[in-house]
Homo-oligomer: A and B are copies of this chain.
Amino acid sequence: MDRLFNFSAGPGTLPASVLEEARDEMLAYKDAGASVIEISHRSPQYTELVEQARGHFRDLLGIGDEWKILFLQGGASLQFYQTALNFLGEGQVGDYVVTGAWAKKAMAEAKLVGETNEAASSAETGHDHTPDPSTWQVSDRSAYVHITSNNTIFGTQFANDPDPGVPMICDASSDFLSRPINMDRYGLIYAGAQKNIGPAGVAVVLVRQDFLDRIPEGLPTLLDYRTHAAKLFHTPPVFAVYMVEKVLRWIKSGGDLAAMKRRNDEKAALLYDRIDATDFYRGHARTNSRSNMNVTFNLPTEELEAAFVAEAKTHGLVALKGHRSVGGIRASIYNACPREGVEALASFMADFEASNG
């Protein structure tokens, strides 16, 4: 079976070279005499690889020891609750910018912990944009402002790191390490790995030391970020961390995050140029909120959309169906989605339009 061009929204495509390495090491990792998934998480081999992974994050993001780098379980969905549990103090307000389904879920979990405020929302226009930070209504008792940097379902993305005047907590699951980040704006950034930086099974959490100092006593041990910042507390999701290390090494082999952004912008432009060329394809996102990770669009009819997905598949272009909640087409073109795949899709879009437009 050959590999196809896979536009899955997540879990998403991984670099083939990373998969090849994992394949070659599956029976015996380095000098361990066993697979990496069969050895102790306190072994020198695992300790080395997790420290290498942390080093890659520090190198790529230009951060030092003031940022703790945690490899947690439960995905971004558990982070919705955990961030509020740790940082939404009594008398404070958690501010949420609701740019889609995930942001809404994050706010709902925070409500179980304390007071929340919808600082901005794009719901009224079908989440077709990311609200301008100058319009946000941030509480004067704000503990943090929570944003979703990229919205997988709707295909929108903040063009830059907003500056609301209080530290932000960011769900960066779907665009993490796809471009540089102004880390000064954030107190905590979390990302499920399965889109840009690895397989499912680990959420990477970057948290600043001064944010950790705000955590109250008495939290469940596993849900207190300090537990994981202090030491390797329990068995980590070894395989997922092992793969993240490889993916980050692959990212670094292509240069810095500015170089990654250039490649991602170029890939996205191939599709947006096609969308903008005629009225056949209609992009969901407003131009200034377009995501370079998830390109979402509609065709004139649902029948044509179904035909598009089916015919694309016969050309080896798979997983293009939009999220079940909104329909349409979604091409997820994360870091590891090769340019050739995006070129093939753009070319297919032109051909499909010529035949059906």
Contacts A8-B34, A31-B1, A40-B8 given; indicate if A200 touches B236 (C-beta within 8 A): yes
Q: Which residue of the partner chain, among B20, B30, B73, B318, contacts A73 with CB atoms under 8 Å?
A: B73
A159 interfacial contact with B, CB 8 Å = no
Q: Verify B235–A194 contact, CB threshold 8 A.
A: yes
Cβ contacts under 8 Å, A2 to chain B:
28, 33
Q: Verify A38–B74 contact, CB threshold 8 A.
A: no
- Cβ < 8 Å to B, chain A residues 32-65: 32-35, 37-41, 43
Cβ contacts under 8 Å, A166 to chain B:
none
Shortest CB-to-CB span from A261 to chain B, Å, is 23
Tell me which of A3, A37, A218, A221 has the highest count of chain B C-beta atoms within 10 A of its own C-beta.
Answer: A37
A218 to B30, CA, bound (A): 47
A12 interfacial contact with B, CB 8 Å = yes
Q: Verify B14–A20 contact, CB threshold 8 A.
A: no
Q: Verify B33–A1 contact, CB threshold 8 A.
A: yes
A222 to B73, CA, bound (A): 11
**Chain B residue, CB-CB nearest to A21:** B26
Q: Verify B318–A6 contact, CB threshold 8 A.
A: no
Q: Verify B28–A3 contact, CB threshold 8 A.
A: yes
Interface-facing stretch out of A75-83, A136-144, A285-293: A75-83
Contacts A8-B38, A75-B73 given; indicate if A201 touches B238 (C-beta within 8 A): yes
Contacts A28-B3, A199-B239 given; indicate if A40 touches B23 (C-beta within 8 A): no
What are 21 sample pairs from A and B whose C-beta atoms fall under 8 A apart?
Answer: A1-B28, A3-B27, A3-B28, A6-B38, A8-B38, A9-B40, A11-B41, A19-B27, A39-B319, A41-B200, A43-B319, A73-B78, A77-B222, A77-B233, A109-B220, A109-B222, A200-B236, A200-B237, A201-B201, A201-B237, A239-B239
